Structure 1
Amino acid sequence: MSLFQDQYDVIVVGAGHAGCEAAAAAANMGCTTLLVTMNLQNIAQMSCNPAMGGIAKGQIVREIDALGGYSGIVSDKTAIQFKMLNVSKGPAMWSPRCQSDRMRFAEEWRLMLEQTPNLDFYQEMVSGIVTKNGKLIGIRTSLGIEIKGKSVVLTNGTFLNGLIHIGEKQFGGGRAGESASFGITEDLINLGFESGRMKTGTPPRVDGRSLDYSKMIEQPGDINPQKFSYSNVTSPLKEQRSCWMTYTSPEVHDLLREGFDRSPMFNGRIKSLGPRYCPSIEDKINRFADKDRHQLFVEPEGWNTVEVYVNGFSTSLPEDVQFKALRSVPGFENVKFFRPGYAIEYDYFPPTQLKHTLETKLVEGLYFAGQINGTTGYEEAASQGLMAGINAALKVKGEEPLILNRDEAYIGVLVDDLITKGTEEPYRMFTSRAEYRTLLRQDNADLRLTPKGYAIGLAKVDRLERVEEKLAKSEAFLQFFKDTSVKPDEANPILEEKGSSPMSQPDKMFKLFSRPQLELEDFVKFEKVKNYIDEFELDEEIVQQAEIQVKYSGYIEKEKLQADKLNRLEYVIIPDNFDFDKIKSISIEAKQKLNKIRPKTIAQASRISGVSPSDISVLLIYMGR
């Protein structure tokens, strides 16, 4: 008798953010799924800061939710604070973020996964993958057990040959207190995969009872907090916990510099690259020597725990140096450590070895998601896990894959960047990476993606009905603005108050409300608008959607035209067996990059670093264009 069924449709290795989303997606799409992890107590562990979302990352969480993933719901259920970032800028930049209760977050994920049909669990280290004649047939565990699967999704995080650094000390581990994973890297290299090393770091965790918050600046949540999930499963927070902010100083920097010769980053023991946009405190002091202070965000780890995360103080310096320097930070004079910060090195596999489905080019049925692809961040990992789980399930079912374009989702930008450009340092998503960010707003992720999630059997019918209602009401409200006139005597008092030039004759509301001085609160001062909202019971989400469509219609239409123009190149297919070497008129670098990445379309080829516009012109001629 076997411990397992004869063959699973999808096996997911690793239960971090990527693995959890992959397993949930595959199981919810009807596939028999096995989630294998080294420790079932650490499912969905927040290894770094206790927060979800942020600039561009919040958009990704909303996209995951819109498709039918779990991250948004779990975040809402376990949040202790919610903020909409960048509200002083245009709506393309608005980004939701929440502080999370670290223990509750992991607990909620596990409970939701345990309630997911078709999903089995197993605790053991996976030491390799099993192939036969170049085709994947399953995994092998450290006990020598082989488990058969039609597809495997690897989401190993920082565990592949993980090495932890604290000052002069180093020891194997995938996370503090947990062992590294061995065997998978070696198997993949033997199969012909290229691997590399990356590093990341984390700050000390401290005892909140030892801090003096009177010396810090309070950072409360929003007065009227929103939430991540578009579903009605969750509700906005009624109570919130504050975060706090303080600063380093020249004294702190001098104390830290005393340990630089003992830092693995400066003495050469760490050779791999860390995240550029989340540098360690020693890296910040070194790179920005002209700055005499840096912000530190003091983040509570939950509702009831006293543990605090010191965001901005990521370090691999010796623990005594960390402690001495942190005690010179205002509010930290009597700080007590729960655990010191550390850096960790781990194996990754350059993502140019993947297809847009996140399936590997070398081994059919094998998918990579998360930090194994060179990314950093919970949200980036979760979105890759979701897409890998979806596409593994679709492949098993014999259905067409789900590939999101760059004008459809931040997730599409993320995957396309990884596949076509690769990365030599931990990749993090920013709004600036998306050329169509006016289209990819956090407020419309459901309109963009829920129909796609429903079509593949992931998003449920109630979600689709909510989206259809939102769309219908938003469009009707927008048409009301276009059809309804407003007289000068109605508008001018408000225009005068806002410092906008008065009207001399009646005009349509659409034109009036497109003035930059007018905001949502001004719309509802007009009796006709207030009556319409009351009559059709429009909620704030729909009113805000209409406001954005009015005020930014020109920008939105312009981006749609640009996207349509470039998307035509997505339909110019490059044959799988196309010989780039036979084209004499393109550069040697272009030939090398095109042969390595094997783009599927002209549009994808145009985004590869080293392929010039003139190379694309030549390719178009060869494609008969």
Structure 2
Amino acid sequence: MFKEYDVIVVGAGHAGCEAAHAAATMGSSVMLITMNMQTIAQMSCNPAMGGVAKGQIVREIDALGGMSGIVTDKTMIQFRMLNSSKGPAMWSPRAQSDRMKFAEEWRSVLEQNTNIDFWQDMVKGLIVEKGKVVGVKTGLDIEIRGKAVVLTNGTFLNGLIHIGEKNFGGGRTAEKAAKGITEQLIKMGFEAGRMKTGTPPRVDGRSLDYTKMEEQKGDLHPGKFSYTLTEPLTKQRSCYITYTNQKVHEILKTGFEKSPMFAGRIKGLGPRYCPSVEDKINRFADKDRHQIFVEPEGWNTVEIYVNGFSTSLPEDVQYRALSKIPGFENVRMFRPGYAIEYDYFPPTQLNLSLETKLIQNLYFAGQINGTTGYEEAACQGLMAGINAHNKVKGKEEFILKRSEAYIGVLIDDLINKGTDEPYRMFTSRAEYRILLRQDNADIRLTEKGYALGLADEDRIKLLHIKKQQTAELLDEVKKWKVSPEYINPHLEQLNSAPIKEKTSIYNLLKRPDISINDIYNFTPETKASLAIYSEEIRNQVEINIKYEHYVEKEQKMADKIGNLEDLRISETLNYDMLVAMSKEGREKLKKVKPKTIGQASRISGVSPADISILMVYIGR
């Protein structure tokens, strides 16, 4: 019935979509198996992409040739650049998405790729022969053969939904859980665990009074995620902000005795940085209110996502508490919030390519690895798809370093440190965040994506134009010089110190209180010269000038640490022979089996002294 595929992708969420698209675009024949063709790329939780650090990940996916950025640009209803008042390392794009259009666009992208076939069914097991995965078995007892398999099961592995004292199996509301895979993998020697996530109630926007809330508009000049020529927004929908209060908290507390979290019915750990509303009022009892973001789910729907009110309390408690929030007095609820428990596999069982150590050609991506968030899942799917293709085609694995991408930071953290709670990306996790900005992801990664066969010729052309124009403008800025008698009146208007001799605009731009757009008003010459360059090019030049010293310093640090990545460790090294090393260090190294000294140095429990002993042993 089916041919043998190069790559089989199980699950069509954000990780599965990127994995299937990447492998197929690079030339593999791909089978994408999903339990429901109508929920491909569904935004199960909030209808948004990007955010702090997450926005950088989406731009990196796009720079490599992935599709999350393009799909977001085509379907967003609002765009905001977060942290724009801070330094550029912190700038993070975020888009409010049209949930239905987002899924529709992703499905269209996949269906237009002739290398992708689809099958609607549940996968209940893997076919493994001689330590290598060779296919999958579906719920209909159909065997589909493939040279590599990527598991992107999301929250569906033995998923259990909780609402108050009720619980029932499911991977998402109204969708059944997937059974069989966890049990089989455990029998094969894998370690598994349980995690928890949650979602808030959805409500009818027609029942809300927005005059009692704070309007949150999009940027005046909205940006976008993709480096391709996607169209920026010309109109936007507003979000709104309101707050809980003591009345809300008191009502929520009446449901605590029926809470599955407080009663101990939920065993898995939830995301620390996105707690349920009952967890917030319990842990932060001193706070008399918590922020609620009122987010529309699309252009043509009245459905509202109540961000900040994730809960698994009984539905009647949820409704009564909601009605005490300003603007929600007459709220009509579409469906209650719920918590969901699901199986995951500690990611220390993977190689940096996301291939499992126990079974060859088997890859894990997304929440199965203990992460949370669309963006974290999508980038893992992209990397797993790339590496699954490379493996079956006899090519080298593709690994991104911590100094090259947030994607590299995320995967390195997962493999070397593991996680026992849902992992979420933050800028603070990246030690090279001045290098890993959202504005330069294409400069860092597009040539790599092109070499892989993922980023196309048009992307390379756009990158070369950007590099050329940035270099041209930077050269002009260094040449432009202005005299004190002309420039000082302008500097005075900007509350910037006057100059005493002729000075280049390059040096003036090093001042924190002068932006490149201020230069428009300096001279007719500068105004005419700058006008031919886009906002993106002007920002790139300004960042390069203002942060030149910091960028150089970080790059030197990255190069120094990078030398450790070149020191390879033999896969046959017997760590038990290193008796001078700490017992914990030996155990952790035996478990992770790092490929380089650099990787070994980042494993939790391996001390600098252990690394010194290891380096002496391998002759360094």
Shorter-chain TM-score tier: over 0.9
For 1:48-72, what per-residue CA distance to the aligned partner results, in whole angstroms no more than 9, with x for missing partners?
Answer: 0000000000000011111111100
- The equivalences for 1:449-468 within 5 A come to 449-468=445-464
- 1:586 paired with 2:575, answer no
Where does residue 592 of structure 2 map in the other structure? 597
SS at match of 2:324: coil
Where does residue 527 of structure 2 map in the other structure? 530
SS at match of 2:126: strand
Where does residue 400 of structure 2 map in the other structure? 404
Measured on the aligned residues, the alpha-carbon RMSD in Å equals 0.9
Where does residue 190 of structure 1 map in the other structure? 187
Structure 1 gap segments, 5+ residues each: none
SS at match of 1:91: coil
Q: Which moved further from structure 2: 154-163 or 489-498?
A: 489-498
- 1:56 paired with 2:40, answer no
Where does residue 514 of structure 1 map in the other structure? 510
SS at match of 1:30: coil
Structure 1 segments of 4 or more deviating over 4 A?
none
- 1:359 paired with 2:355, answer yes
The whole-number CA distance in structure 2 between the counterparts of 1:546 and 1:500 is 20
Where does residue 303 of structure 2 map in the other structure? 307
- 1:332 paired with 2:328, answer yes
For 1:191-247, what per-residue CA distance to the aligned partner results, in whole angstroms no more than 9, with x for missing partners?
Answer: 111000000000000011111111111001000001111101x11100000000000
TM-score, length basis structure 1: 0.98
The partner residue of 2:199 within 199, 202, 206 is: 202
Q: What is the CA distance between 1:522 and its match in structure 2?
A: 1.1
- 1:559 paired with 2:554, answer yes
The partner residue of 2:40 within 18, 43, 58 is: 43
The whole-number CA distance in structure 1 between the counterparts of 2:527 and 2:436 is 29
Q: What is the CA distance between 1:525 and its match in structure 2?
A: 2.2
Where does residue 497 of structure 2 map in the other structure? 501
- What percentage of aligned pairs have identical amino acids? 67
Contact 1:494 1:522 in 2 (8 A): no
Q: What is the CA distance between 1:472 and its match in structure 2?
A: 1.5
SS at match of 1:106: helix
The whole-number CA distance in structure 1 between the counterparts of 2:382 and 2:179 is 25
The partner residue of 2:467 within 468, 471, 483 is: 471
For 1:152-207, what per-residue CA distance to the aligned partner results, in whole angstroms no more than 9, with x for missing partners?
Answer: 00000000000000000000000000000001111111111100000000000001
The partner residue of 1:576 within 571, 579, 600 is: 571
Q: What is the CA distance between 1:531 and its match in structure 2?
A: 2.7
The whole-number CA distance in structure 2 between the counterparts of 1:400 and 1:464 is 22
- 1:437 paired with 2:438, answer no
Where does residue 278 of structure 1 map in the other structure? 274
For 1:566-606, what per-residue CA distance to the aligned partner results, in whole angstroms no more than 9, with x for missing partners?
Answer: 00000011110111221122211111111111111111111
The whole-number CA distance in structure 2 between the counterparts of 1:71 and 1:339 is 28
TM-score, length basis structure 2: 0.99
The partner residue of 1:543 within 530, 538, 543 is: 538
The partner residue of 1:383 within 375, 379, 383 is: 379
- 1:65 paired with 2:62, answer yes
Contact 1:572 1:623 in 2 (8 A): no
One-letter code of the match for 1:353?
Answer: Q
The whole-number CA distance in structure 1 between the counterparts of 2:187 and 2:362 is 15
Structure 2 gap segments, 5+ residues each: none
The partner residue of 1:96 within 82, 93, 98 is: 93
Contact 2:490 2:522 in 1 (8 A): no
One-letter code of the match for 1:271?
Answer: K
- 1:173 paired with 2:170, answer yes
Q: What is the CA distance between 1:524 and its match in structure 2?
A: 2.3
The whole-number CA distance in structure 1 between the counterparts of 2:407 and 2:41 is 20
Q: Which moved further from structure 2: 615-624 or 52-61?
A: 615-624
The whole-number CA distance in structure 2 between the counterparts of 1:494 and 1:551 is 20
Q: Which moved further from structure 2: 146-155 or 573-582?
A: 573-582
The partner residue of 2:119 within 109, 117, 122 is: 122
The whole-number CA distance in structure 2 between the counterparts of 1:503 and 1:217 is 44
For 1:525-558, what per-residue CA distance to the aligned partner results, in whole angstroms no more than 9, with x for missing partners?
Answer: 2333323234xx3211111100100111111111
Where does residue 444 of structure 2 map in the other structure? 448
Q: What is the CA distance between 1:271 and its match in structure 2?
A: 1.5
One-letter code of the match for 1:576?
Answer: E
Contact 1:203 1:314 in 2 (8 A): yes
The whole-number CA distance in structure 1 between the counterparts of 2:104 and 2:319 is 31
The partner residue of 1:347 within 326, 343, 347 is: 343
Contact 1:28 1:117 in 2 (8 A): no
The partner residue of 1:614 within 595, 600, 609 is: 609
The whole-number CA distance in structure 2 between the counterparts of 1:273 and 1:592 is 25
Contact 1:140 1:147 in 2 (8 A): yes
